[in-house]
Structure 1
């Protein structure tokens, strides 16, 4: 006698099954041993299930296994001993086993001595995500490799693969007195109306890379190599992964999924009203809407975040919640709803072993409810109703009704625009009419105009609620005029309304960013990522992100794409009020330093293929100016000096050797080009090397010894002032330290004796003549602006040896601490630097902007309003001018 504990729930479940499910009652009669266990309150472990007749032919053996497994899983489910995950995993594992057995059997029947290789099944749908229900069919794609598929003599692989596939379907679908194994649906394969039921792997890859429809992308979220030659299937999935998970997503796929949902709702209208007859799968607020809600978010964000590439619906919701894309409470509600729907779906399918998803009516609904363990149909509906309502609400928020479309009637449209916030509605209406008429190339196709109509209501609402609706729509018009294609851009705004509001802010305020966006619309894709408004990482992390394993030219393109995204996102942080402009300025500098490091490494590696390396020598890149101080603006160029260590008479060791001086000068030219020359992905940085020894008359790259000698013996005062903001940004730690030692010695007095103040003052006066302020807000060139502040700081640094740090903010703090500068200079620098960084985005001409942008500037500077900004600017400029005059007077 078995040593088991009686489980009343198991016995009760078996009794309910016999009473309310004709199908399970039949199985209990045909499996008396299992029935006896259940009646005795015993639930055998799945691993201990007697599968019987191991020597029977494979088709019969699979049918018997399926029957016993279905009965055992159903009773464990009804008894509450197996949760939904355990149930669907057991059914899915059996489907994998059955499909694999069928493939092996089909190959063995045709070529008995051959290894079962070269034929694989890619599971899609619920088998792919291991979420099969009791009566699910399976939706595999059958693929083969002509090079390894076993064939009979004189048989071509294509014919052999089709015959194997037909036999696989026959083994699984044929019914006899023992039932059947699985229903098989092969219609999810590429172009099923014209393609054979088994495709070569290469043909399938070619299809998905070039011809696939958008909805097929969603189908592959749940794809898995499930049976047959699983390694072959894995290689196929790896090859098509870029098709599924795109970094810059084609948002037409999102519209396609939504279109499927709408068509389902229309086609199954009779199953939409909640109550008896409600379609749990296709009904409004049902299973499909949970799945589509999840897959839409996965497609949007999964290209950038591999953690979201989860096939199981409930686990995917958890991942989306953890990543911040779905509200945690909403994710919990959708998981609970999905669990309940699938459980009740199982109850309905248990009754007659039918692939149905519809709640029955009348007595049949009561029976399904009682099979589940609740009193009657009304109680079952009460259990489901709140979940259906909540799911429909979540999905409708993602896919709003189309009743808010903008009117084509001029009067009605004017009213809609006025309600949205536009004062001059005629200007906005004229722009919209131009767009609708296909005035620009990007809007001439039918898909583009359809995408425009889909997004117009939300976009106009976003622009209308922005501080400057008129300016925003004019800038959007300029942007659309320059786009080559507008479809993806509109689909992105449609999928993420919050980005539409952010676009309104950018177009209202940031001419610089709007121009960037017009040139490279894909920059906006980067704002999908929740981290886009967070500080950028350190230089190491940024460099790792910019590094590509592709060839040299592709690396140049890749760095430009990443830098463009980072700079655009950093500028957007200021517009969105998400970051201090000083932090953004430091972020710009870290991005630039990472780009320098990555492209220097790539260029050196490329250069060394031909010319080798110079033994016991290396390149150093020294940054000066704002880059040296680690405080760039959106428009900053990079002031760089190239140096090299070691013997200048040495020679490189490559197949085309060069002397060290020629080697490093050519290499420096290549690196400057890598950092500045526009590629297919656009420009990168303007590079200024005029601060090198002897200026434009000198070599581009000099030895460290030559640099040290020049600085000690020949450099002018302005060059030593520039050296005060010098910082090595590329080179080994030892090389950087060697350069820093030279710089420190020069700044502390190892240089020609000169009248620093007189020379600096004369140079400042010359700058004032040749580079007057751009406008009344030029924080850099106005009297008492940043240039005056920098001149004063550098004069005191060179005269006193205090505050020798390339970061101007740190240097000023040190000078204040040493009593060499008044305390108010720290606040003056912060104000001027914040203003400069912000104005480079919103008023690059340094003219007073509109009222709305004035408010943005005040917020960025941490001030209450625009008058406070103006007053503070005047006060701080006076402080700087006063100190500059004092420095000149004391030193004189």
Structure 2
């Protein structure tokens, strides 16, 4: 890329504060173009430090400003490369620092470079110094024979040592007179039992590298170097092993250290080893769940900094700290980093090292309003420019405004402004930053709660003994939260009932800090919790054990349209791909599934979807989990026992899953069928006979679905619909399956096959199984005993599973199972491949098996019963009686079924089930 010359890009200039100094420099550079000479003079009139550099580097400066500053900077950075000897390298770096500082300052004050180009150039110089220092001193240790096993050439990658740039250096945002924060580590795995000797060498390297950059000589210094951000700096050496650092962060790492690692970047030595270390640290920095507790930590840190630096004073220009004071740079950085910590574990797009980039990413993902991000970005850039002017005056690592009016006037002139306008503008910007950020950090004061009855007061007083409120921190947050919770409870249909349900929710929470912080930062969640507690105690209990699912409400498109199976498969797969370990993959699948499962329940509870939409969503989710999990289980199994023998296998969904209609508490009916294609055994590290291979693979898959892990289980699984039921093998060969179905299977097994649906596995096997299913249904539907077998089966079912209450939807004459059995019989007699109840009844109607009026009776009953079943299963998994449901739950069921009251619903249920029973009895009784 070709850049225009320096002079052509000038667009602003300071106002000379010291006219005599400006005139002196103006005379010295009178040979330069007037606009360039004018900029140098005005800059010298504001900064004694830069005036001195202009005199010291006058000849170089003339050449540098004659062309594009980018080319001049590249030449500056190239000069130290290849210099031999520590002393010569140190001097070369100091020359580079003087020239880079002068060029960057002039590009800054003249408006030639944006803030990011100025800070980027300074950061590149710091990276160069650190890397060259590590290379030289590691090479010295190798030449002295002090690094066990290392040979000449290893110094090119630091022989396993890396410096991590932290803070502004890591983000490429070094300020004008910044020190540099480094964490120095080495890869101990390269040295085995000689790691102790290697560590001693790397400690020497670190100290010499820091001195090379920091020591003040006749040539000045390069960068002040700070090594105190390393783990437990008071007691640890200046360079430590990656294993020791990892152990520290995993066990006692704090929120401020997590925030520091947002910006961490390998900058010198073994960059690849540094990247590997940062990857290992991802779970520490980026939590899997939304981390709103970080807000309190950041707030406390801000207060401690202000108190320590005695910055809690009224907002004035004189003496104000532009970095740490009210409305300062750190407020914007904390605001950005804390939001990143909250959500970056779930969304890697938010993990931007830079402040401006972080704000843009947060706005793009809806975490902060776009106008807030834009305003804070403009304020951040303005603050950084003032910070640079403060530091350019005398090359001082300061962030404080001068304490005298004269000093403030100098900074105003350096910024190209009159003093009055500068003061007003600065105070306005500080106040705007404070206004935009303070509300995010500062926790609210506890409100007065509502008056409680004795019964309610007894419940509330018991909360202090719950596990979630054991820590002082949880108690402090909950003290502010409790009045809000209780006020919202008073609005529930039955406040006492909702309080009892909320009590159950709180009692089940294993910990409270994260969740209470989540509620405090997102008050809308409190309404959701009260709604759930007042309507569905079962969902509230589920939520107390799986509170992480609330992340989805805040961190995703929770109320967006349903995505369908394809995107869900991708979501589950993506969650697993982010984990390396097999068990962690299973945990990730559980987290993703539970968030979506919870979403369906909430949408149903709040009337965003009806019972039939919710049923399809639950089925989509189950299918997606199976489709995403099957290849992961197969890959893990193949790693031990070789690839799947033959053509592979297919997972068949049966029952309600096959029909794509599940409720909140459904288990999964599954069958696994494989086609070995004559292959007798697998080929792998531990080969297995084909039959044993697929049996154990199926068991592994069922375990992956059902195992109780810290994140819970995915689903309960029932495999009794496989050939021969419990007595048959858990995986069936395609040949055995077809032979069994054609010659041995009972009519009930053919009925079950009407709802079978391939969900995952080898495409060729899936197609073969589906083709066979369609063929078999046509063939077996002509059997003379279908109706009589169904009659016998129906009698057994009703004897084994009678209705358990007035509002029982599933079991009993004329209810769901009865209608589903009738629909399956209709599909079998019609030879139809239809799986859903409605389509099966329609197939029976078209085939002359049921009349139009009978079909309407069955469908009217089925639709009411399904709405009742789906609604009550969301509320409870127990017996449903109108009198035992709370007011909120009863109102939900009535809304779902479209009835005005419990009595009306009971009467309608009795009527429609009676009619359905009569239709079914008439048809099933017509057996041969």
Q: TM-score range with shorter-chain normalisation?
A: 0.7 to 0.9
Distance 1:328 1:826, change over 3 A: farther
Partner of 1:230: 271
Question: Which stretch shifts more, 761-770 or 199-208?
Answer: 761-770
Pairwise CA distance, 1:42: 5.6
What SS does the aligned partner of 1:97 have?
A: helix
Is the CA contact (8 Å cut-off) linking 2:809 and 2:865 kept in structure 1?
yes
Tell whether 2:645 aligns with 1:628: no
Partner of 1:725: 755
Partner of 2:296: 255
Distance 1:467 1:228, change over 3 A: farther
Is the CA contact (8 Å cut-off) linking 1:127 and 1:138 kept in structure 2?
yes
Partner of 1:412: none
Distance 1:326 1:838, change over 3 A: farther
Partner of 1:362: 405
Cα distance in 1 between the residues matched to 2:187 and 2:76: 33
Cα distance in 1 between the residues matched to 2:215 and 2:263: 27
| CA displacement 1:805-826 (0-9 Å, x = unmatched) | 2233554676788896567977
Partner of 2:343: 301
Pairwise CA distance, 1:259: 0.9
Tell whether 2:97 aligns with 1:60: no
Partner of 2:30: none
Partner of 2:244: 203
Pairwise CA distance, 1:136: 1.4
CA-based RMSD of the aligned residues comes to 4.0
| CA displacement 1:38-88 (0-9 Å, x = unmatched) | 9xx967413225649867822232222222222222222122221111111
Question: Which stretch shifts more, 769-778 or 584-593?
Answer: 769-778
Pairwise CA distance, 1:371: 1.8
Is the CA contact (8 Å cut-off) linking 2:133 and 2:209 kept in structure 1?
yes
Partner of 1:793: 823
Cα distance in 2 between the residues matched to 1:608 and 1:198: 42
Q: Which residue among 173, 184, 190 is the counterpart of 1:142? A: 184
Is the CA contact (8 Å cut-off) linking 1:214 and 1:252 kept in structure 2?
no
Cα distance in 1 between the residues matched to 2:641 and 2:48: 82
Partner of 1:410: none
Partner of 1:421: none
| CA displacement 1:654-685 (0-9 Å, x = unmatched) | 79887766665565455444433434543443
Distance 1:581 1:260, change over 3 A: farther
Distance 1:750 1:157, change over 3 A: closer
Is the CA contact (8 Å cut-off) linking 1:443 and 1:449 kept in structure 2?
yes
Partner of 2:880: 846
What SS does the aligned partner of 2:281 have?
A: helix
Aligned ranges 1:275-294 → 2 under 5 Å:
275-294=317-336
Cα distance in 1 between the residues matched to 2:573 and 2:196: 51
Cα distance in 1 between the residues matched to 2:292 and 2:893: 34
Question: Which stretch shifts more, 508-517 or 103-112?
Answer: 103-112
Cα distance in 1 between the residues matched to 2:398 and 2:860: 72
Partner of 2:226: 185
| CA displacement 1:763-790 (0-9 Å, x = unmatched) | 4465445434444444434765433442
Partner of 1:29: 55
Cα distance in 2 between the residues matched to 1:652 and 1:124: 51
Question: Which stretch shifts more, 462-471 or 514-523?
Answer: 462-471
Partner of 1:645: 675
Pairwise CA distance, 1:17: 1.4
Cα distance in 1 between the residues matched to 2:455 and 2:866: 37
Q: Which residue among 387, 392, 402 is the counterpart of 1:350? A: 392
Distance 1:132 1:615, change over 3 A: closer
Distance 1:658 1:447, change over 3 A: same
Pairwise CA distance, 1:489: 3.2
What SS does the aligned partner of 1:325 have?
A: coil
Matched residue count = 865
Pairwise CA distance, 1:635: 0.9
Pairwise CA distance, 1:339: 1.4
Question: Which stretch shifts more, 215-224 or 460-469?
Answer: 460-469
Question: Which stretch shifts more, 847-856 or 279-288?
Answer: 847-856
Pairwise CA distance, 1:21: 2.6
Q: Which residue among 823, 827, 834 is the counterpart of 1:805? A: 834
Cα distance in 1 between the residues matched to 2:316 and 2:415: 19
Partner of 1:97: 128
Tell whether 2:450 aligns with 1:417: yes
Is the CA contact (8 Å cut-off) linking 2:638 and 2:644 kept in structure 1?
no
| CA displacement 1:671-703 (0-9 Å, x = unmatched) | 444433434543443322333344445554444
Is the CA contact (8 Å cut-off) linking 1:468 and 1:852 kept in structure 2?
yes
Tell whether 2:105 aligns with 1:74: yes
Q: Which residue among 728, 733, 738 is the counterpart of 1:708? A: 738
What SS does the aligned partner of 2:900 have?
A: helix
Q: Which residue among 68, 71, 76 is the counterpart of 1:47? A: 71
What SS does the aligned partner of 2:184 have?
A: strand
Aligned ranges 1:815-826 → 2 under 5 Å:
821=852
| CA displacement 1:205-230 (0-9 Å, x = unmatched) | 22222232222111110101112332
Cα distance in 2 between the residues matched to 1:63 and 1:490: 52
Cα distance in 2 between the residues matched to 1:89 and 1:154: 36
- Mind listing any 5+ residue stretches in structure 2 that lack a counterpart? 13-34, 145-151
Aligned ranges 1:363-762 → 2 under 5 Å:
363-376=406-419, 378-402=420-444, 404-405=445-446, 416-418=449-451, 424-436=452-464, 439-453=465-479, 455-457=481-483, 459-460=485-486, 463=489, 469-534=495-560, 535=562, 537-538=565-566, 540-542=569-571, 544-545=573-574, 547=576, 556-597=586-627, 600-601=630-631, 616=646, 618-645=648-675, 664-665=694-695, 668-679=698-709, 681-696=711-726, 698-751=728-781, 753-754=783-784, 756-757=786-787, 759-760=789-790
| CA displacement 1:578-606 (0-9 Å, x = unmatched) | 54543433332233334445655565566
Cα distance in 2 between the residues matched to 1:384 and 1:855: 58
Distance 1:416 1:724, change over 3 A: same
Pairwise CA distance, 1:440: 3.2
Is the CA contact (8 Å cut-off) linking 1:217 and 1:253 kept in structure 2?
no
Is the CA contact (8 Å cut-off) linking 1:143 and 1:198 kept in structure 2?
yes
What SS does the aligned partner of 1:570 have?
A: helix
Cα distance in 2 between the residues matched to 1:399 and 1:332: 19
